[in-house]
Structure 1
Amino acid sequence: MTDRVAVVTGAGRGIGLATAKRFLAEGWRVALLDIDLDTLTRTVGDLGGETLALHCDVADAAEVRAAIGRAAAHFGRLDALVNNAGTAVFKPMLETTPEEWARVMAVNLTGPFLTVQAAAPLMAETGGGAVVNVTSISGLRASTLRVAYGTSKAALAHLTKQQAVELAGLGIRVNAVAPGPVDTAMAKAVHTPEIRADYHDAIPLNRYGLESELAEVIYFLCSEASSYITGQVLAVDGGFEASGIGLPTLRNARRNL
């Protein structure tokens, strides 16, 4: 595996960084792509292993082609692509501006379209590879304040299936993970104690996920261990998407038995 190469977008922090570290731990060479140059530079400087920093806006087609091409030229091949870069606007639907809607769609949906379009021919040159798109539980379950974000992630789930069907003939597998609440820096900053309590009540495992847990699943879907899996959207959410109503009441009742 030591000759394998992965590109991870949104890799300056959070799930993207945890995923890059997971690949590096297995001896992969990793190109870390992010729009935040300062954070990306610090991150790559702190990592061991063979890495490459790629400053890029995934919504810009020319930048994407250049960045993906640079990664392949630098390392000599491309085996995995993780589309983790994303953005969100948490506002009521009637207050979300067309500009905000367009930017969320450009990053969360058009970005993975552009990166896969650039990466697939390069993967095919060495026999194929794997793509993992990071969607969200918000693409599977509607909630307030997420009209742009949730819709973009739902569309990304379908794009994953389109990519899987069309690229299978090139030896490229495409899957997605849909994280539930994860203890990222963003979640810690914006989730009040009340919101965290609500999530705990709704999640059968009764906790937030860890960035490292998402990275494990993403790595699995890029590895040979998942060689017969493509076109799937896997919720990594502690059971959140599967659960219905009444969970806190039932949990308390069980304790009283």
Structure 2
Amino acid sequence: MPMSHASNLEQVHAIVTGAASGIGRATAAALLEEGWSVLAIDRNIVALEGLRQEFAGSQALSIYGIDLSEIKEIERFIDDLPHAIQIRGLVCCAARGDKTGFLDITNDQIRSIFELNFFSTFSLCQAVARRMIKAGGGSIVNITSTSGLRANAGRSAYGSSKAAVELLSKIMAVELAPFNVRVNTLAPGPTLTKMAAHLHAGPERQRLLDKVPQGRYGMPAEIAQGIVYLLDSKRSSFVTGHTLCVDGGMAAAGSFEPIR
């Protein structure tokens, strides 16, 4: 579990998963600019080194090469964190996509998607929430998707995993509110990330854009600003159990994507 640049123990820390690229990377960068200390997690340690170089000289960034689909790696990461580090924020961005149709997808594919998208989120949230409670509170933001809010063809695994994260987060919000731990989710619409480039190829790209009233893909930095808002207890102190759609109006349009 490589690590670089130990964080200042006196600062408030946030864990960001999937921080090597896309929304996770943009979120880590935005939080650093806001003054947070960031513990950036991704299995791609080489890409995390790129993030470290972008913020060269910053003592507020620590990077961890962890495969979040391996629950024991999550447990080891939490156990190894010094108790002096106050984890006040958690952003779970790490996810894997799939566009196999319901009649063709296999149990192994479903399990693989759920291991990263749901079970790793559950395990990390549980471990961090326990730590937050001891520290007096905190804020958790789980990234879902518009695919977890409505039925999209080819999203039986991905959409179901995100819907599971959505409901889990609401249950967490209710149970953790008495301990001053807020839990919210953010559902991005189509966003210019490597995952989107893989899943939204060819004609599907235009079909998606046709469903976005603003008529374009979002940028990772735009999604990150919504995450920062939900994470920041000064800005969103009375917000918990909420799903913020940052999707160019896609959820409001409410159009169903038929099977083709």
CA–CA separation in structure 2 for the residues paired with 1:151 and 1:245: 18
- CA contact 1:9–1:85 (8 Å) conserved in 2: yes
> CA offset at residue 75 of structure 1?
6.4
Q: CA deviation at 1:189?
A: 4.4
Q: Secondary structure at the match of 1:45?
A: helix
Q: Out of 15, 18, 29, which is 2:26 matched to?
A: 18
Q: 1:208 is matched with which residue: 210, 214, 217? A: 217
Residue matched to 1:96: 105
| Alpha-carbon distance in 2 for matches of 1:184, 1:167 | 32
- Return the alpha-carbon distance in structure 1 between the equivalents of residues 112 and 168 of structure 2: 18
What is the letter of the counterpart of residue 45 of structure 2?
A: L
2:125 matches 1:116: yes
Indicate yes or no: 2:45 matched with 1:37.
yes
The higher radius of gyration belongs to 1
- By how many angstroms is 1:74 displaced? 8.0
Query: Which residue in 1 is equivalent to 2:144?
Result: 135
Q: Deviations over 1:86-116 (max 9, x none)?
A: 0122111122111110011111111111001
The TM-score with structure 2 as length reference comes to: 0.88
User: For residue 255 of structure 1, what is the aligned residue in structure 2?
Assistant: none
For 2:50, the aligned partner's letter is R
Which consecutive unaligned segments of at least 5 residues does structure 2 have? 1-9
Aligned partner of 1:241 among 219, 244, 251: 251
Query: Separation in 2 of the partners of 1:74 and 1:54?
Result: 17
1:18-77 C-alpha deviation (Å, 9 max, x unpaired): 00000000111100001222222333233243111112222322211222344x418621
Deviations 1:170-224 (A, max 9, x none): 2110000011100113323443353232222211111111101110000100102
Specify the SS of the correspondent of 2:184.
strand
1:196 aligns with 2:205: yes
Q: Structure 1: where are the runs of 5+ without partners?
A: 247-257
Residue identity in the other structure for 1:63: E
1:245 offset after TM fit, Å? Answer: 5.3
Aligned to 1:147: 156
| Residues 150-161 of structure 1 mapped to structure 2, 5 A cutoff | 150-161=159-170
Superposition RMSD on alpha carbons, in Å?
A: 1.8
Contact 2:97 2:199 in 1 (8 A): no
2:86 aligned residue: 77
Letter in 1 for 2:75: R
How many residues are treated as equivalent by the alignment? Answer: 244
Counterpart residue identity of residue 13, structure 1: S
Give the TM-score normalised by the residue count of structure 1. 0.89
For the residues of structure 2 that align with 1:244 and 1:20, how far apart are their CA atoms? 31
For residues 20 and 210 of structure 1, what CA distance do their matches in structure 2 show? 15
Q: 1:91/1:51 Cα in 2 relative to 1: closer, same or farther (>3 Å)?
A: same
Q: Which has the higher helix share?
A: 1
Deviates more, 1:8-17 or 1:200-209: 200-209
Q: Which residue of the partner structure matches residue 165 of structure 1?
A: 174
Equivalent-residue separation in structure 2 for 1:142 and 1:234 (angstroms): 18
Partners of 1:74 and 1:56 in 2: CA distance:
20
Which AA in structure 2 matches 1:226? S
Q: Distance in 1 between matches of 2:158 and 2:170?
A: 19
Percent identity over paired residues: 38
The one-letter amino acid of 1:8's match is V
The residue correspondences of 1:171-190 to structure 2 (distance < 5 A) are 171-190=180-199
State yes or no: 1:54 paired with 2:64.
yes
Deviation, 1:234, is 1.4
Kindly indicate whether the alpha-carbon contact (under 8 Å) linking 1:59 and 1:114 is maintained by their aligned counterparts in 2.
Answer: no
User: CA separation of 1:166/1:10 partners in 2, compared to 1, >3 Å: closer, same or farther?
Assistant: same
Query: Cα 1:155–1:190, aligned 2, differ >3 Å: closer, same or farther?
Result: closer
